[in-house]
């Protein structure tokens, strides 16, 4: 084993005594060269998403020491940026040690003379974005690993605009972090002492109420829900959405709400939903079972940090899951149609989606005269577009933004996806169609009849550890240097490399520039309106592929997607 790694392990055994769990873990891997190497062969990567990793001991794990080091780097960056006393807001979710990491971050910031505002209990990620703007902070931190399994936690950093920090800022923060010695350069203080001195202040209920008021203002038909008779079953998947989602549904008049008892309270082990991702059917299993007795019109499920929401809709005696693409497209059409009909649509309205999100959104936008903006994967890029509009005094032009991974946002009050407003609008939309003698199922069917049947799917392959990172890079390099000209018998008509900022039309040979930030993303446009987009995840040890197919029926589109996936998987070597 590398002697540098061994020495680092020994240093941690000597110095990392502030957490009994770490002490025990370090002792348990003594003599285990593979275990030591995997924990110490590198640092957790700090990117635009901040940190994310397995909880445990070592430089390549989430623990109080990696959190302290990152926070000291952030503090150094903020103190050098010109503000006399920077202010930072902090939130955290239900994950293992989220509250501990949040307090450790607060201790480091306050020891550096930085004012900290922290929520007194777990809160959704979008409420951190709101607090940054509402309290006029210079930055924000949220401790979460979103929808990842229980062994993960993370540390996301937000700028003063309420968006996750840009690549440029992330690089500056990373440079500051890299100068920090994890044991010798970190300043920290007593949490209770800092609270007593006013350096750490709890975020008040007034801020929470202002947030809920802003969410409620995004309602299209505020008078509708109270008389709709809509029956809702809700699961927060043991996360942070329980209180705010129930509060907003009550606020708009939806009173018949049942909460899945097994998943109501915070549980960082996610005992009843090992993969607490509303994109995955297994995460909704307990809720779907509860549907049999409650018989709701709609099942809502929010992920642990409550920035994504999934749904299942009553279909006879069964319940059908909708995809994020379907829900986002339906919400876009509902907002466009009803706001146009009511005369509340702004002049030159704008909707924003990511490049891997359904193309049916472009057809809907065209129908209602809405400008559609395509951005890179990551909701921060949608938030960035809202910021551009705000800069020009035109934030009211923004009507809706969404991504295929169940993230939605109406309104400019936050700059991140928000499952609280998503839950509200989904319930309102369901109530609207119910009041019309229709349903979400019927509305989806009519949308496909009008705009065409689009099928979207995502496939991911886990590539953990050092070898996994290397394999992902090898795959991306191979696709760039040996670009396939055909997939599943369909010709590749265009190839776009978002890292090289160039797109090539294989039919004409013409090259064109891509006017988006550089990103490690490759897109293959195929015949018949199909496409495949591949990228390494920025937050998980996975490589992700997004497929789009179009057909006259859903069966036809699904069959084509299956053929493309089978062939492309072989090309990738999985």
- What would the pLDDT profile of 150-165 be if each residue is shown by its tens digit? 999 999 999 999 999 9
- Do 537 and 447 reside in the same domain of the chain? no
| Cα 134-137-139 angle, rounded to 5 deg | 125
Residue 110: active-site member: no
- Joined together, the tokens standing for residue 288 give 């779907």
In this prediction, residue 442 carries a pLDDT of 97
- State the average pLDDT for the chain: 95
Residue 32: domain span: 1-41
Beta-carbon contacts of residue 250 (< 8 Å; ≥ 6 apart): 257
Q: Which of 252, 287, 321 is the last residue of a domain?
A: 321
Confidence of residue 47 (pLDDT cuts 50, 70, 90): confident
- Please give the model's pTM, rounded to 2 decimal places: 0.92
In this prediction, residue 552 carries a pLDDT of 87
* CATH assignment at residue 562: 3.30.310.50
Confidence of residue 52 (pLDDT cuts 50, 70, 90): very high
Torsion sign (Cα): 92, 17, 66, 474: negative
- Do 224 and 352 reside in the same domain of the chain? no
- Do 177 and 292 reside in the same domain of the chain? no
- The answer on pLDDT for 167 being more than 90 is no
- Do 25 and 136 reside in the same domain of the chain? no
Average pLDDT over residues 231-247: 98
- List the catalytic residue out of 110, 146, 405, 531: 146
Confidence of residue 1 (pLDDT cuts 50, 70, 90): low
Average pLDDT over residues 399-409: 97
- Do 389 and 421 reside in the same domain of the chain? yes
Pairing mode, if any, of strands 51-54 and 350-354? unpaired
Q: Which of 321, 336, 361 is the last residue of a domain?
A: 321
Q: What's the DSSP call for residue 498?
A: T
Confidence of residue 469 (pLDDT cuts 50, 70, 90): confident
Distances (CA, A) of 313 to 298, 310, 473, 540: 5, 10, 40, 30
- What would the pLDDT profile of 93-134 be if each residue is shown by its tens digit? 999 999 999 999 999 999 999 999 999 999 999 999 999 999
- Do 140 and 222 reside in the same domain of the chain? no
- Do 197 and 54 reside in the same domain of the chain? yes
Q: Give the Cα separation of 463 and 457 in Å (integer).
A: 20
Average pLDDT over residues 341-356: 96
CB atoms within 10 A of CB 493: 17
Query: Tokens 């009994």 identify what position?
Result: 20
Say what the alpha-carbon torsion angle 43, 522, 49, 349 is, to the nearest 10 degrees: 170
- What would the pLDDT profile of 289-303 be if each residue is shown by its tens digit? 999 999 999 999 999
- The answer on pLDDT for 421 being more than 90 is yes
- The answer on pLDDT for 538 being more than 80 is no
- The answer on pLDDT for 85 being more than 80 is yes
Q: Estimate the crossing angle of helix 64-79 against helix 98-111, to 10 degrees.
A: 40
Domain count, the chain: 5
In this prediction, residue 539 carries a pLDDT of 66
- Do 30 and 55 reside in the same domain of the chain? no
Q: Which of 417, 451, 485 is the last residue of a domain?
A: 451
- With CA atoms as reference, report the closest residue to 547 among 277, 284, 528, 574: 528
- Do 310 and 381 reside in the same domain of the chain? no
Beta strands in 187-260 (DSSP E): 200-202, 232-235, 257-259
Q: Are 335 and 364 in contact (CB under 8 A)?
A: no
Q: Give the Cα separation of 400 and 397 in Å (integer).
A: 9
Distances (CA, A) of 33 to 13, 36, 83, 180, 335: 15, 5, 46, 27, 57
- Do 55 and 173 reside in the same domain of the chain? yes
Q: Give the Cα separation of 34 and 505 in Å (integer).
A: 46
- Can you tell me whether residue 556 is helix, strand or coil? helix
- What would the pLDDT profile of 279-333 be if each residue is shown by its tens digit? 889 999 999 999 999 999 999 999 999 999 999 999 998 999 999 999 999 999 9
In this prediction, residue 48 carries a pLDDT of 79
The residues with which 564 forms a beta bridge, in sequence order, are none
- The answer on pLDDT for 355 being more than 90 is yes
Question: For residue 337, how far is the Cα from the chain centroid?
Answer: 27
Q: Give the Cα separation of 451 and 552 in Å (integer).
A: 11
In this prediction, residue 330 carries a pLDDT of 98
- What would the pLDDT profile of 180-202 be if each residue is shown by its tens digit? 999 999 999 999 999 999 999 99
Torsion sign (Cα): 204, 206, 212, 215: negative
- Do 460 and 561 reside in the same domain of the chain? yes
What do you get for the CA distance between the two ends of the chain, in Å?
Answer: 29
- The answer on pLDDT for 541 being more than 90 is no
- What would the pLDDT profile of 471-515 be if each residue is shown by its tens digit? 999 999 999 999 999 999 999 999 999 999 999 999 999 999 998
In this prediction, residue 294 carries a pLDDT of 97
Q: Give the Cα separation of 329 and 447 in Å (integer).
A: 9
* CATH assignment at residue 342: 3.40.120.10
pLDDT above 70 covers a percentage of the chain that reads 99
Q: Are 308 and 377 in contact (CB under 8 A)?
A: no
- Do 17 and 30 reside in the same domain of the chain? yes
């Amino acid at each position: 084993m590398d002697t540098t790694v061994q020495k680092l392990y020994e240093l941690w055994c000597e110095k990392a005594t502030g957490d009994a769990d770490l002490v025990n873990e370090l002792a348990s891997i003594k003599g285990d060269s593979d275990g030591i190497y995997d924990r110490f062969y590198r640092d957790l990567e700090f990117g635009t998403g901040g940190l994310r990793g397995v909880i445990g001991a070592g430089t390549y794990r989430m623990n109080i020491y990696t959190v302290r080091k990152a926070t000291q780097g952030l503090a150094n960056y903020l103190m050098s940026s010109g503000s006399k006393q920077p202010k930072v807001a902090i939130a955290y979710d239900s994950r293992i040690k989220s509250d501990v990491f949040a307090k450790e971050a607060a201790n480091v910031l306050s020891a550096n003379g930085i004012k900290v505002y922290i929520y007194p209990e777990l809160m959704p990620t979008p409420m951190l974005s709101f607090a940054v703007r509402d309290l006029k902070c210079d930055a924000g931190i949220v401790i979460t690993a979103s929808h990842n399994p229980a062994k993960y936690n993370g540390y996301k950093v937000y700028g003063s605009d309420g968006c996750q920090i840009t690549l440029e800022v992330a690089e500056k923060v990373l440079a500051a972090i890299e100068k920090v010695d994890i044991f010798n350069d970190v300043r920290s203080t007593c949490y209770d002492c800092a609270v007593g001195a006013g350096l750490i202040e709890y975020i008040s209920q007034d801020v929470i109420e202002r947030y809920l008021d802003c969410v409620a203002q995004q309602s299209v038909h505020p008078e509708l829900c109270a008389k709709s008779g809509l029956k809702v079953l809700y699961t927060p998947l043991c996360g942070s959405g329980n209180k705010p989602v129930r509060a907003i549904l009550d606020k708009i008049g939806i009173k018949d709400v049942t909460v899945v008892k097994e998943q109501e309270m915070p549980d960082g082990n996610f005992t009843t939903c090992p993969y607490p991702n509303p994109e995955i059917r297994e995460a909704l299993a307990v809720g779907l079972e509860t549907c049999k007795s409650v018989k709701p019109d709609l099942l809502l499920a929010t992920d642990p940090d409550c920035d994504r929401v999934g749904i299942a809709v009553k279909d006879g005696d069964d319940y059908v899951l909708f995809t994020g693409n379907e829900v986002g497209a339906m919400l876009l059409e509902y907002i466009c149609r009803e706001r146009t009909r009511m005369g509340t649509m702004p002049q030159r309205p704008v909707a924003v989606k990511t490049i891997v999100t359904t193309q049916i959104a472009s057809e809907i936008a065209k129908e209602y005269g809405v400008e559609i903006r395509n951005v890179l994967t990551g909701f921060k890029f949608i938030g960035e577009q809202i910021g551009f509009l705000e800069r020009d005094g035109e934030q009211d032009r923004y009507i809706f933004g969404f991504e295929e991974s169940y993230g939605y946002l109406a309104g400019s009050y936050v700059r991140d996806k928000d499952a609280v407003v998503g839950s509200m609008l989904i319930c309102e939309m369901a109530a609207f169609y119910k009041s019309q003698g229709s349903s979400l199922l019927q509305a989806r069917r009519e949308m496909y009849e009008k705009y065409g049947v689009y099928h979207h799917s995502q496939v991911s392959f886990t590539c953990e550890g050092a070898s996994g990172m290397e394999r992902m890079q090898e795959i991306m390099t191979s696709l760039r240097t040996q670009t396939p000209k055909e997939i599943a018998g369909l010709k590749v008509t265009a190839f776009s490399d978002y890292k090289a900022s160039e797109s090539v039309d294989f039919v004409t040979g013409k090259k064109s520039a891509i006017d988006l930030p550089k990103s490690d993303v490759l897109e293959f446009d195929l015949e018949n309106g199909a496409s495949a987009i591949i990228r390494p995840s920025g937050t998980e040890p996975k490589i992700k592929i997004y497929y789009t197919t179009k057909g006259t029926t859903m069966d036809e589109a699904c069959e084509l997607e299956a053929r493309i996936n089978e062939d492309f998987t072989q090309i990738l070597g999985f």
